[in-house]
């Protein structure tokens, strides 16, 4: 099964793909990732590498890429909205506490003095998308609202300084893929 299932359908492990694309045609920017459809993002994710906890330290620029459950026409509208310069979510900030664990927070509503909402813990653990590890973002922290605490993100590196993320919602003890997002160094 693809890791681009309809919302509220669990993803299952899948074998690593063999890419038919050359290194030169691989995505290098958030715009490149945003131009890809969910199935292509899923394949790219499976072939990506797992970054170390300290490698994401700092402020990364974020972009929502795709919501797999949406029809194609609505997905295109959402992608255009996410590319808008005033889209609320600006990215994530990461800080490693040591080699194996760290923490982070989302930045929203502006780049100069953003609000920082929804703290998360970071670590490396098995991916929900297949038989490999991923950089995990766990929002189950006492200061976060209930719905936010049910979010489990994971990230893999697709090119130097470019990361592809999957956002899962834990619903009835099952992980449901709800969207793809990208992160990059400014």
List phi, psi (to 5°) of 81: -65, -45
Which pLDDT band holds residue 72 (cuts at 50, 70, 90)? confident
pLDDT of residue 71: 87
pLDDT of residue 13: 36
Q: What count of Cα atoms within 13 Å lies in the side-chain half-sphere of residue 183?
A: 25
Nearest to 75 by CA among 63, 65, 87, 85: 65
Q: Tell how far CA 55 is from the center of its chain.
A: 16
Specify whether the CB–CB gap between 175 and 11 falls below 8 A.
yes
pLDDT of residue 79: 85
**Mean pLDDT calculated for residue range 13-40:** 70
Specify whether the CB–CB gap between 43 and 17 falls below 8 A.
yes
**Mean pLDDT calculated for residue range 41-69:** 96
pLDDT of residue 1: 41
Q: Is the pLDDT of residue 117 over 80?
A: yes
Position with higher pLDDT, 15 vs 171: 171
User: Coil, strand or helix: which one is 169?
Assistant: strand
Domains of the chain from N-terminus onward: 27-184 (2.40.128)
pLDDT of residue 83: 87
pLDDT of residue 6: 36
Cβ neighbours around 1 below 10 Å, total: 11
Position with higher pLDDT, 146 vs 3: 146
**Mean pLDDT calculated for residue range 137-145:** 95
Which pLDDT band holds residue 173 (cuts at 50, 70, 90)? confident
Cα separation of 38 and 32, whole Å? 13
Nearest to 90 by CA among 64, 65, 108, 112: 108
pLDDT of residue 42: 96
Residue 178: burial class (beta carbons within 10 Å; 0-12, 13-18, 19+): middle
Least confident of 1-5, 134-138, 147-151, 179-183: 1-5
Cα separation of 103 and 4, whole Å? 27
Specify whether the CB–CB gap between 7 and 67 falls below 8 A.
yes
Name the token pair of 114: 């953003």
């Amino acid at each position: 099964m693809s890791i681009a299932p309809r919302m509220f359908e669990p993803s299952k492990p899948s074998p690593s793909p063999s890419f038919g694309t050359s290194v030169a045609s691989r995505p290098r920017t958030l715009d490149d990732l945003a131009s890809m459809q969910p199935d292509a993002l899923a394949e790219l994710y499976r072939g990506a590498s797992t970054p170390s906890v300290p490698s994401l330290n700092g402020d990364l620029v974020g972009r929502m890429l795709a919501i797999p459950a949406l029809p194609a026409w609505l997905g295109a509208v959402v992608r255009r909205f996410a590319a808008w310069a005033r889209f609320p979510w600006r990215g994530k900030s990461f800080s490693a506490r040591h080699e194996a664990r760290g923490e982070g927070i989302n930045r929203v509503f502006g780049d100069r003095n953003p609000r920082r909402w929804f703290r998360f813990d970071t670590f490396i653990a098995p991916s929900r998308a297949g038989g490999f590890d991923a950089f995990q973002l766990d929002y189950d922290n006492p200061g976060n609202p209930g719905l936010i605490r049910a979010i489990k993100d994971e990230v893999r590196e697709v090119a130097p300084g470019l990361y592809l993320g999957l956002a899962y919602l834990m619903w009835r003890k099952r992980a449901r893929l709800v969207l793809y997002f990208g992160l990059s160094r400014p």
